[in-house]
Amino acid sequence: MRKAINNGNITWLDEGEGATVVLLHGFSENAEIWSAQTEQLKNKYRVIIPDLPGTAASPVTTPLTMESMADYVYAILLAENIREAVVIGHSMGGYVALALAEKHPRMLKGLGLFHSTAKADSEEKKEGRRKSIKLMEQYGAETFIRQTLPNMFSPTTKSAHPEWVDAYVKMGMSCELPALVAYYEAMALRPDRTAVLQQITAPVLFIIGKDDNAVPLENVLPQITLPHLSSIHIFEHVGHMGMWEVAAESNVILEQFIAFCQL
């Protein structure tokens, strides 16, 4: 996988042939979150994993919103001369994918919401984000990351694979405080995009974990009937990190979904 820089945009590009697949990381993550999926998909598809603004060497843009990050992804695709792609986002990456689908619906051959939702934050969720921002600003990013990120895994995974939790926390600590705060502010301000699911003509993939505390099952279930065509997968004993917790199963689902989107 090579590193490309286009007008300051940092992107990881696989050299494979075939259809283009864009994988968007979530809050406090980077391209490494998709390593197992990239390894599986690169033999059939061209895989693009942008480091969203604020991640790695990509600077925080002002203002940072789901829309501005969607514009960032769109600019990368245009720079790579890509006119259509299957776009799959994890958590916050799903919010960015929805914003991209709203702005450029013809570009998407498929939309994947990997532990993500089209709904806006509830008032309770927004208040929780505001409290988290205060916690980060008062005590630093490390304290927040160590308290929060382990809860992204199911109890089963935390017990069986504490090394995954440690690796995820380490990844989160590589994200700078201003970016973490900007991400939380952007997520709190994002609009409801359930209408995008109703209007999109491309297939939509939903991957859901029964033990997901960040995007609970009951939040996503009402959305699965909105698209014209949905693919739904619900995992037992999986939290918010299916790409790691059930990597092999997730890879099979992604391969099947991407192949279907090319029909």
Q: What is the pLDDT of residue 16?
A: 59
Structure tokens given for 109:
């051959």
Predicted model pTM: 0.94
100: amino acid identity, one letter: L
Query: What pLDDT is recorded for position 132?
Result: 95
Ramachandran class of 8: left when φ > 0, alpha when ψ lies in -120 to 50, beta otherwise:
left
Q: Per-block average pLDDT, block size 10, for the chain (263 residues)?
A: 47 66 96 94 92 83 92 93 96 98 97 98 96 94 95 98 98 94 97 98 98 97 98 98 98 97 92
Bin 61: left if φ > 0, else alpha if -120 < ψ < 50, else beta.
beta
pLDDT on residue 139: 93
Question: In sequence order, what are the residues at sequence separation of 6 or more whose Cβ sits closer than 8 angstroms to the Cβ of residue 257?
Answer: 86, 110, 112, 203, 205, 231
How far is it, in rounded angstroms, from Cα 168 to Cα 204? Answer: 27
